[in-house]
Chain A
Amino acid sequence: MGRLENRIAIVTGAGQGIGRAIALGMARQGAALVIADLDETNAGAVKREIERVGGKASALYTDISNEESVRGMIDHTLNEHGHVDILVNNAGIFPTNSVEEMAEEEWNRVIGTNLIGTFLCSRAVVPHLLTQRSGRIISLTSGRAFQGARHGAHYAASKAGIIGFSKSLALELAPYGITVNVICPGITDTAQPRGHQTEEQIYAQGERIPLGRIGQPEDLAGPAVFLASDAAGFITGQTILANGGGIMW
């Protein structure tokens, strides 16, 4: 018996990387998954991957920065699966630019996706979780929230914002038995760092991490499953750093 049997989980940005690993991890524990992603091809591939191992999943195009699209994601979930128990706010973007060179449009796009997208998705599931008087919201932050990001001020701000947002939402939802927590990966072997670092630079960072390697997407699946499970029912408003000890908080 899986620890997430009969649970319905939405994972945004689940078409690849950390989101995909979390979706697969939750599916292995019996949850049915909604794979929400901007890239429909990737989302479809993850859905089939889950189905191949006997899991249940649906996939759909979702732009978390768009209120209409987020509403569609919830409608789809309810139509397809009947209810929703778990939201994982994983989707995010990380373009790079110095503050001096940063166009307002780029600032808006990063905050609009990473932070406002997290708000929109959370707001959309809350009424359903309140009705059930149970549920889990898990959002992904970044070590950059703690340490800043050279040429990524918008990203660092958005990821720190997710922590403040989650603590506040945890206070709002705690009386209803709904928990809200954050997972903080370190540098992870996904497409994201490859946008602005060479392979060599990426793997070299493993040497500075106490556990001696950069993260793999699967490293984040365990913490996400734990936080989503009944075992973590009294943990709320916290940020769990799963980063090989890269930052200790």
Chain B
Amino acid sequence: MEAKVAVVNGGAGGIGRAVVRRLAGAGYVIFILDKNQQAGREISDQLRDQGCQAEYHAMDLTDAAQIKNAFAEILSASGRIDLLVNLAGGTLHKHPIQEFPLSEWREVIDVNLKATFLCCQAVCRPMRGRKSGVIINTSSNFGITGGAGRTAYAASKAAVIAFTKSLATEMAPHGVRVNAIAPGLTATARVMSRYDETDWRELGRSIPMGRAAQPSDIAEAVGFLASDESGYITGQTIHVNGGMIFN
């Protein structure tokens, strides 16, 4: 049987690396799209060393032309895309609203929401053509609760949920499922670097399960949504947050 193909944008990030490892373990051929060239090459080399098929594409995920070209290349190389995981994004800028420059606000929306839109758009046609496919987008607990200083991030992550529901409705007749994951506080290097050790421990203790998520916790939810085990689930958001917030 021909191996399934997964494209993971943000696949070189803290959560991304756990996701691509999980998917490679499930037998997917992996294409990583990420702006971080060093991390992208490292993780794709690691996967190949372990006998998995993986390829890294350096890219700015706010650049529509770059996205279009990358997906065209992937399709011509592999002939199919079975799974798209949109992980790239982040808070990027945090300011009180009266001090939030429009350029930065727009950047947050572009990275978290527009990149998701563009990548989804790029796979919709091939997935429709094959009458199968899975798309997994990334929201956040902040998309539900909001957060002071995070008007842009929270808006973008709430928008991902509504976007996911809408695309799920559009794609369901074509056999394509679209869902979202919403990680809570997750122990990636980028997030942990914002806290000193004591604050980080305190923060973990404030979560009902007593700790932040490990990237592997998020990767397992992606693995579930990618699999046939969730074959009747579409348009939903799976929160992986140790009970921080409930859907």
Contact = CB atoms under 8 A, between A and B. Distances in A.
Contacts of A234: 209, 213-214, 217, 240-242
A54 interface: no
Interface residues of A, number: 34
B234 interface: yes
Interface stretch (B58-66, B68-76, B107-115, B164-172): B164-172
B208 A171 contact: yes
B209 A236 contact: yes
A248 B213 contact: no
A226 B209 CA distance: 18
A235 to B, nearest CB: 5
A240 B234 CA distance: 10
Contact of A223 (B213, B233, B235, B239): B233
B168 A226 contact: no
Contacts, number: 105
How would you classify the secondary structure of chain B's contact residues: helix, strand, loop or mixed?
Answer: mixed
A177 B232 contact: no
Interface residues of B, number: 35
Contacts of B234: 210-211, 244-245, 248
Interface string B204-247: 00001110011001001101100111111111111111110011
Contact of A243 (B232, B240, B243): B232
Interface string A161-187: 000000100110011010000000000
A239 interface: yes
Contacts of B173: 210, 212
A96 to B, nearest CB: 25
A161 B221 CA distance: 26
A40 interface: no
Interface in A221-246: 222-223, 225-226, 231-245
A215 interface: yes
A175 B239 contact: no
A219 interface: yes
Given A175-B209, A243-B232, A245-B169, A226 B224 contact: yes
30 contacts: A167-B246, A170-B246, A171-B208, A174-B209, A174-B242, A210-B168, A210-B169, A211-B177, A222-B227, A223-B230, A223-B233, A232-B221, A233-B217, A234-B213, A234-B214, A234-B240, A235-B240, A236-B209, A237-B208, A240-B233, A240-B238, A242-B233, A244-B172, A244-B232, A245-B168, A245-B235, A248-B165, A248-B169, A249-B237, A249-B247
Interface of A: 167, 170-171, 174-175, 177, 210-212, 215-216, 219-220, 222-223, 225-226, 231-245, 248-249
Given A175-B210, A219-B232, A234-B242, 19 more contacts: A170-B243, A212-B173, A215-B232, A223-B230, A231-B220, A231-B223, A232-B220, A234-B217, A235-B217, A235-B240, A236-B209, A237-B208, A238-B247, A240-B233, A245-B168, A245-B234, A248-B234, A248-B236, A249-B247
Interface of B: 165, 168-169, 172-173, 177, 208-210, 213-214, 217, 220-221, 223-224, 227-243, 246-247
